[in-house]
Amino acid sequence: MGELIPDPYFLALAFCIVAFLYSSVGLGGGSSYTALMAIIGVHYLLIPTISLTLNIIVTSIASINFVRSGHGRIRLLFPFLVTSIPMAYIGGSLHLPEGIFFLLLMATLVLVALRIYVWDRPALRLNLTSSGKLAVSLLTGGILGFIAGTVGIGGGIYLVPLIIILGLGTEKEAAAMGAIFIWLNSCAGLAARAGNFPDPITILPLVLAVIIGGAAGSFLGANKYEPRTMHKLLGGVILIAIAILFSKMVS
């Protein structure tokens, strides 16, 4: 196991914390899973597969907890899903060279860092027509789906504030829809990567860790609190990953 995933038990502990914090706001944690695996040195072909798998597990639990608490509004997701699911499959089908993969991953992580540190509480509200909201939803869905399939980041971290900005739902409803969005896109991206999946025993500690963290975090997030400030702590991990990836690319 150590040959495929260096320091698996350190990763398991870190992933449990990530799953707890992210699931509390309807996210799968894919951005931090990919960042941590890039830091530890997991092979780049395994990073999206493992991240998508863990996203599916965490958001399955989060979706159930948020929907059972009365925050589900699946209809508002339809326009996003029309483009995101096929694009997630297309992204997962691509066999990118290592350099291109890390370039795309770094760009995505930079956007995640900006989302965490700069755009934490979106106050902007767009007064668009129904057709304008549909156009934005279709375009955004396609972009986020492609990102999910190629690098393993489910896209919910961008979708949740967008739902609020477009006036499509409340913060809790956005969290619930973010979890479902990540789950569906992660399934599509993982389906395209079926031939590049590690032995389940290899990632079992990671799976158990995110089940524990995701169950606890999503239950508390759906019923009690929403720990937004914790995202900034996780953002520190992403910033470190950006620096490490940049040093690899220029060396």
Per-residue pLDDT reduced to its tens digit, 20-39: 888 877 778 888 888 888 88
Residue 236 sits at the vertex; the CA angle it makes with 231 and 240, to the nearest 5 degrees, is: 145
Chain centre distance of CA 203: 18
Q: Give the per-residue pLDDT at 210.
A: 92
Please give the structure tokens belonging to residue 145.
């789906």
Q: What is the mean pLDDT of residues 84-110?
A: 88
Give the predicted TM-score (pTM) of the model: 0.82
In 3-state terms, what secondary structure has residue 33? Answer: helix
Average pLDDT value over all residues in the chain: 81
